[in-house]
Amino acid sequence: MLRRRPSLIVFDLDGTLVDSAPDLAHAIDEMLTRLGQPPAGEETVRGWIGNGMPMLVQRALTGEQWPEREPEGFAEALALYMDIYEASLCNRTRLYEGAQECLQRLRQRHIKLACVTNKHSRFTLSLLRQLGIADFFDAVASGDQFTNNKPDPESLLKTAERLGVAAADSLMVGDSPADAQAARRAGFMLACVPYGYHGGKGVAVLSPDLILESLAELPGWVDAAPRQPLPEAVTG
């Protein structure tokens, strides 16, 4: 359970609020085709999502999960990919079941909400608007607006500071190891959804405070959380 009722809830975007893999995979495969390489396919691309677009393109060019160096032609490939993706940003991307209901119910509780993503700002707000959820958020922050992306805690800490909320009173909702590591390093509480882009290892290994089968469950957990922090366990 949550150690206290959060004053700020920060949501990841891809794999948490929205299933964007079909459009991301389309753009990757089209990029690879134009570069004379075989397409990767949606199933493979799903395993590459979660560390920002530059890393996604590097993985597509090399076939490696963690490329040791920037591949040849990377800058040109990234620009091509971004143009292709922008043209098909929301063709098959959809909100996960329970996402809109969750945001609506949390707004009724006067909890501050933010979307913090490694996605480039060129796409983030446009996608949120096309899906009809942009107005739920008090802050929207994208990967190119920070020096360091998740799993670094910078984007979470700066968003909490911007909204005037302490890290200890903040909750990160995500789907990936990058989200979990950023939350723990920032001192946030952590909730994970099991359906996103976690590399096939599941989210239990991330040791979140909550695992949500659907985002629609989150308001109930928020209501059940204590107004004050849970006392430390007595040992000895």
Residue 178 lies in a domain: yes
Considering the domain architecture, whether residues 102 and 203 belong to the same structural domain is answered as yes
Considering the domain architecture, whether residues 129 and 177 belong to the same structural domain is answered as yes
Considering the domain architecture, whether residues 12 and 26 belong to the same structural domain is answered as no
Residue pLDDT, tens place only, 200-213? 678 999 999 999 99
Diameter of the chain by CA atoms?
Answer: 65
Considering the domain architecture, whether residues 42 and 75 belong to the same structural domain is answered as yes
User: Domain range for residue 74?
Assistant: 21-87
CA distances from 101 to 111, 209, 213 (A): 15, 21, 14
Considering the domain architecture, whether residues 62 and 160 belong to the same structural domain is answered as no
Question: Residue range 33-48: average pLDDT?
Answer: 95
Residue 230 lies in a domain: no
Q: How many CB atoms lie within 10 A of CB 172?
A: 31
Phi and psi, residue 69, nearest 5° = -150, 160
Residue 1 lies in a domain: no
Catalytic positions, please? 12
Residue 236 lies in a domain: no
Residue pLDDT, tens place only, 125-170? 999 999 999 999 999 999 999 999 999 999 999 999 999 999 999 9
Residue type, 236: G
Residue 3 lies in a domain: no
pLDDT given at position 52? 85
Total domains present in the chain: 2
CA distances from 206 to 37, 66, 98, 180, 193 (A): 35, 19, 22, 6, 11
Considering the domain architecture, whether residues 108 and 46 belong to the same structural domain is answered as no
Which string of DSSP letters, residue by residue, matches 44-83?
A: HHHTT-SS-HHHHHHHHHH--SS-SSPPTTHHHHHHHHHH
